[in-house]
A and B are shown apart, each in its own frame.
Chain A
């Protein structure tokens, strides 16, 4: 059940990232680049959740999971602040 939900979350993030980065490619609005990176990192974080639980059972991936999620949110906050012009 958790695997299904985290897969869905990862897919949602990937979809968002693709839409944002594709739009960045077309319009060159930089904020979209940072937002796209944010959702890419969130996708990685969700994938790490699944790897942590199902694949790498003996290694604790919590620091990596949290670090990617943190970087993700920092990226979008950075983009929203820095590109607000």
Chain B
């Protein structure tokens, strides 16, 4: 059951990331690229690490990659609020 859920999370994360990727392509706003990467990294993170370290989400590499993924979201928000009316 856990494997199924991980697989489903990965597939749905890929789909969500794809929507954001398309937003980036049509608006040229890197805000969306960061969100796309974040979802994709998290999806891949879960699958790859399940294969290697199992469900132990304590493993440093696991939560460091998650930090990167969420850091991208924070970066996107900061970036969006930092530049006043700059066309990207």
- Give the total of A residues in contact with B, Cβ under 8 Å: 26
Known A-B contacts A70-B9, A80-B19; the reply to A9 vs B2 at CB < 8 A is no
- In Å, the complex CA distance between A49 and B5 comes to 16
Tell whether B55 is near chain A: CB-to-CB under 8 Å: yes
A47 to B78, CA, bound (A): 24
Main secondary structure of the interface of A (DSSP, over half): helix
Given A2-B58, A49-B57, A80-B16: A8 in contact with B67 (beta carbons within 8 A): yes
Q: How large is the interface on B (under 10, 10 to 19, 20 to 34, 35 or more residues)?
A: 20 to 34
State the CA gap A33–B12 with chains docked (Å). 18
CA–CA, A54 and B16, complex, Å: 31
Chain A residues within CB distance 8 Å of chain B: 1-2, 5-6, 8-9, 12-13, 15-16, 19, 49, 52-53, 62-63, 65-67, 69-70, 73-74, 76-77, 80
15 A–B pairs (Cβ distance < 8 Å), ordered by A: A2-B57, A5-B63, A8-B70, A9-B67, A9-B70, A12-B70, A12-B73, A12-B74, A19-B77, A53-B58, A63-B5, A66-B6, A70-B8, A73-B13, A77-B19
